[in-house]
A and B are shown apart, each in its own frame.
Chain A
Amino acid sequence: MAATATLGKRMRTIGFHTGASALSLLWFLPIALILVISFRSTDDVLGNGLNALPHSFAPGNYSAAWSGGGMQQALINSAIVSVPAVVVTLLLASMAAFALSRYEIPLRRTLILVMLGGNLLPPQILLVPVAKLSQVFGLYDSLPTLIAVEVGFGLGFYVFVLQGFMRTIPAEIQQAALIDGAGPFQIYWRIVLPLTRPALAALAALSFTWVFNDLLWPITVLVTQSKMPVTPALLSLQGQYVSYWNVIAAGSVIAAIPTVAVFLRFQRHFIAGLNLGAVK
């Protein structure tokens, strides 16, 4: 009896791993093919077809995408935009969340929902006015404008998540600080912010990915090709290297590396961030 039970269990385990491996392989197949194509020479791809096994090794595709395709400048631009955008967003959002969760602000809930509602708006409704307003104020086609737009549009979501998190911090901690004579700023900076670190880390990983991957806002507020961040730059690389699938593949891989690195390094935070964002 016991022997058949363990045998059955083993068979089920083997069955599970077979199924899960097949699923994972299927999921990974497009990535694997793109990686292979990105290292094949143009003659090889044209002569032997996209699905053929590699007959060449051409890392030159990466340097073509890097310098000729403008991915180097694009990565620099993306860093200039994403890093300040994430820092400023989280700073502003944590300030608002601190005040809204730890103090009795008039219209507290309404404010939270109005801010969250702004984030849920379809961005399309903002595109024309944002482009036109930034032209009127002479801010069109500049990276700081893009940073400001990314910050403003994301803010509501982060305020909502962070205030929910900060409400769980016990009141006693704050009272102890008050008795020690700490002002609101010290309570925010020295007590609440450090205790909010898990949520901040999760949201930082998430918002970096969102800003880095964004296409719509950059193509709305920027026109100069050399100012474009990675995602729109990838589209112009596609236009520049029409039918050079190996170079386009290399460009896509370059564009994906930073977010994959963030994901692999901060995997736990990343997953936590996605679940934090989900309103239960």
Chain B
Amino acid sequence: MTLLHTQAPVAPAAAPLRRGRLRRGGPARTSPLILAFVLVPLLVESVSVFWPAIQGVYISLTNWNGVDAPSFAGLGNYSRMLHDPVFLKALGNTAIWLLLFGGLSAAGGLGCAMFLQRERRGIAVYRAVLFLPVVFSLTATALMWQTLYQPTGMANGLLSAIGLGGWQHAWLANPNTALYAQILPALWREIGYVMVLYLAGLKGIDPALYEAAKMDGASAWQQFRHVTLPQLRGVNAVVVSVIIIDSLRSFDVVWSLTQGGPFNSSQLLSTYMYQTAFVNTDFGYGCALAVAIFVLAFGVIVSYLVRAFKESD
């Protein structure tokens, strides 16, 4: 175990560190209490997460309506997916959601963080206002925006106020706009969160780097490109994982507003999965869709864990 040579034994009592012993000095042998401290939470997580996850994979290989005994179907549910237009639509919408929601919340969050990074009078108020929506539930956020999207609501009102009355829509009822109209409230809520992550990252950059860049005559853009961005590499990785995991999970907004409609135009993988399993009680196919979501998230999960692994060293 590599962690052994990361700490020098500080007390003579700690001399030979071996497995099962207290780190950084202490009595011999891990007590049963310490083992229980690990095993009880592990058991709780196993019962509520790991065991159901294995069951979920198994159910995805069956046809099951929840009443009769499940019948084994092999990979039938997965081949069904390939010919299911709603699945393909949901997959495409999830990709659009990922790109637009992800890209814009990263860019918007970084932009707001750069804009509000300097400590000065009043800055805490501006930051708090941008952050405020983060604490609302996605459902409450969605319902607020549902009102704003009504034909006589804020969205259309603003458009006609700036002379774009021709662009007015029934935003959530129109299949062409329903998906995009729902990305906006999610973004409104996510940008403040990403901003907070970037603010912490920006704070960690050594000001001497900017001084040096200025001495070399770097323009503002060059400073951003060659000092800020490289220094934010660690935070960027976090933001990307958070955003991807959040978009694959994003369910609440769409479920609260359109439930994937009209005509599946705003269907996401997460909403389609829920609908298939709990509205149509097609549990086998629902679980197969859940496994598909897991496969898509797998890369991100692994890279997140690799970073966590390095950090817990």
Contact = CB atoms under 8 A, between A and B. Distances in A.
Interface in A64-98: 92-93, 95-96, 98
Interface residues of A, number: 108
Interface class of chain B by DSSP: helix
A21 B11 CA distance: 57
Interface of A: 13, 16-17, 19-21, 23-24, 27-31, 33-34, 37, 49-51, 92-93, 95-96, 98-100, 102-106, 108-109, 111-113, 115-133, 148-149, 151-153, 155-156, 159-160, 163-164, 171-172, 174-175, 178, 183-185, 188, 209, 212-216, 219-220, 230-232, 234-235, 238, 245, 248-249, 251-252, 255-256, 259-260, 262-263, 267, 270-271, 274-275, 278-280
Nearest to A163: B312
B152 A215 contact: no
A132 B256 CA distance: 24
A275 B154 contact: no
Contact of B139 (A24, A160, A175, A235): A235
B106 to A, nearest CB: 14
B293 A213 contact: no
Interface string B92-119: 0000000000000000000010011000
Nearest to B253: A215
A119 B277 CA distance: 22
B197 interface: yes
Interface in B271-295: 273-274, 277-278, 283, 286-287, 289-291, 293-294
A260 B44 CA distance: 31
Contacts of A178: 25-27
A249 B147 CA distance: 8
B301 interface: yes
B16 to A, nearest CB: 11
Interface of B: 1, 3, 7, 10-11, 13, 17-27, 30-31, 33-35, 37-38, 40-42, 44-45, 47-53, 55-57, 59, 66, 112, 115-116, 120, 122-123, 125-126, 128-133, 135-140, 143-148, 150, 152-154, 157, 188, 193, 196-197, 200, 234-235, 238, 241-242, 245, 248-249, 251-252, 255-256, 269-270, 273-274, 277-278, 283, 286-287, 289-291, 293-294, 297, 301, 304-305, 307-309, 311-313
Contacts, number: 330
A170 to B, nearest CB: 9
Contact of B132 (A103, A125, A263, A271): A263
Contact of B154 (A33, A100, A119): A33
B42 A99 contact: no
A104 B18 contact: yes
Contact of B52 (A117, A133, A219, A274): A133
